[in-house]
C-alpha cells in the first residue's frame, strides 16, 4: 500500500476529519458500487453509503491496522446495504412485483425490454457477483483492486466474473440472439 494512503487511513482512524473526508471523496463511489450491487436501487444505495460512512466514523477506533481500513469500510457498506435490503422485504412484495412486471408486459419496444431483461438477469445473480460487476462497470476498477476491496483472494475474481457473465449470457441468450 502506498505510504501516503496508509498515513491517510491512520490519520482517519485517529479522528482527523480532513483525512476522513478525503477518504469519503476517494472511496464513496466504490462503496456505492458495492451497495448498488446488492440493492440495485440508486437512492437506497446512496443511503446505504451515507449510513456506512457515518457508522465508520463513529466506530473507526475499532480498526487497528490502517491497511485494512478500505476493506472494513466496504464491509460496513455491505452490511448496511443488506440491512436496507432486508427492510425492503417486509414491504408487501406483490406491489413492487406488479409494478416491475406491468411495464414489462405493457411496453412493446425492444430497448426497454432488453433493459428489463438485463436487470432481471443481474438480479438473479448472487450478490457478490453483482458487486464485482458493478465495481467493474461503474468504476472500471482493475481485478486486483476489486479483489482487495471485496476482501477476495488473489485471482478469485476472474472466476467470479466469468461465472457471472456466463449465467447472464444464458439468461439473455434469446435476447442476444435477436440482437445479432
Partner 1 sequence: MATIHDEIDSWLAADIHGELSEDERSALHAHIVDCAACRKAHQENKVMNKMLEETLAQEKPDPAFEQRMLSGFRNRIPERSGLVKLLVDLMRLRAVQITAVTAILVGLVQMGRMITGENATPLRDRERYAQVEVAAPQPPESRPGQAGALARSGGVAAGRPQDLALEAPPAAPATRSKFHEEGKAAGTTVAPAKAAQPEARDVETLVVPENAAMGEEATQSPVESPAAALANRKLIRNATVELEIVSFDDAVQKITAFANEERGYVATTSSEKQANGKLKGEIVVKVLPENLDHFLQKLRGIGQLKNQTLGTEDVTKAYFDTDARLKNARVMEQRLIDMLKTKTGKVSDLLQVEKELGRVREEIEKMQGELKYWDSQVQFARVTISLAEKDMEEPASFLLKEHAQLALYASDVEKIYNEAKVLASPKVQITNAQLDRDYSGRVSARVSMLIAPEESETLISRVKGFGRVENFQSQTERIAQGGSGMSQNAKTKRDKVELNVTISREEQEQAFQQTSLRIRTSAVDEKAKELRSLTEKQNGRVRSSTFSRDPDGHEVANVSLRVPMKNYSALMQSLNALGRVEDVSVQRQDRIGGQIDEASAPADISIQVYSQGNIVSSDTGLVATLRRTLAQSAAAIMWSLRMIGVAVAFLAPWAIAVIFVVWIAKRIARARQ
Point out which residues bind partner 1 (CB under 8 A): 14-15, 17, 21, 24-25, 28-29, 32, 36, 42, 46, 49-50, 53-54, 57-59, 61, 114-115, 118-119, 133-134, 136-138, 142-143, 158-159, 161-166, 168-169, 172-173, 176, 179-180
CB of 94 to partner 1, least distance (A): 25
The span from the CA of 14 to the CA of 146, in Å, is: 26
Residue 130 Cα to chain centre, angstroms: 7
The dihedral region occupied by 12, where left means phi > 0, alpha psi between -120 and 50, and beta the remainder, is alpha
Q: How far is the CB of 24 from partner 1 (least distance, A)?
A: 5
Smallest gap from Cβ 157 to partner 1, in A, equals 8
**Burial class, 94, CB count within 10 angstroms (exposed 0-12 / middle 13-18 / buried 19+):** exposed
**CA-CA-CA-CA dihedral for 112, 117, 119, 120, to nearest 10:** 140
Least gap, CB of 179 to partner 1 (angstroms): 6
Nearer to partner 1, 80 or 136 (CB): 136
Residue (151 or 162) nearer to partner 1, CB: 162
Cβ of residue 150: shortest distance to partner 1, in angstroms?
Answer: 15
The minimum distance between CB 80 and partner 1, in angstroms, equals 13
* Helix pair 42-58, 69-90: axis angle to 10 deg: 130
Query: For residues 75 and 171, which CB has a smaller minimum distance to partner 1 in the complex?
Result: 171
Please, which residue, 151 or 159, has the CB nearer to partner 1?
159
Q: Whose Cβ is closer to partner 1: residue 90's or residue 180's?
A: 180
Question: Of 16 and 102, which CB lies nearer to partner 1 in the complex structure?
Answer: 16
Q: Shortest CA distance to 36 belongs to which of 119, 152, 111?
A: 119
**Grid coordinates in use for 106?**
405493457
Residue 90, φ and ψ in degrees, nearest 5: -70, -20
Amino acid at each position: 500500500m502506498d505510504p501516503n494512503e496508509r498515513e491517510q487511513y491512520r490519520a482517519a482512524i485517529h479522528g482527523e476529519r480532513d483525512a476522513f473526508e478525503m477518504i469519503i471523496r476517494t472511496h464513496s463511489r466504490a462503496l456505492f458500487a458495492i451497495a448498488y450491487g446488492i440493492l440495485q436501487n440508486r437512492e437506497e444505495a446512496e443511503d446505504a453509503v451515507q449510513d456506512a460512512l457515518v457508522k465508520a466514523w463513529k466506530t473507526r477506533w475499532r480498526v487497528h491496522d490502517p491497511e485494512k481500513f478500505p476493506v472494513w469500510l466496504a464491509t460496513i457498506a455491505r452490511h448496511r446495504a443488506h440491512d436496507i435490503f432486508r427492510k425492503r422485504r417486509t414491504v408487501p412484495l406483490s406491489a413492487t412485483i406488479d409494478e416491475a412486471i406491468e411495464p414489462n408486459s405493457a411496453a412493446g419496444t425492444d430497448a426497454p425490454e432488453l433493459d428489463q431483461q438485463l436487470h432481471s438477469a443481474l438480479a438473479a445473480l448472487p450478490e457478490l457477483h453483482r458487486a464485482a460487476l458493478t465495481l467493474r462497470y461503474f468504476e472500471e476498477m482493475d481485478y486486483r483492486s476489486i479483489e482487495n476491496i471485496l476482501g477476495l483472494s488473489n485471482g478469485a475474481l476472474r472466476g467470479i466474473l466469468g461465472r457471472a457473465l456466463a449465467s447472464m449470457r444464458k439468461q439473455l441468450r434469446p435476447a442476444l440472439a435477436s440482437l445479432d
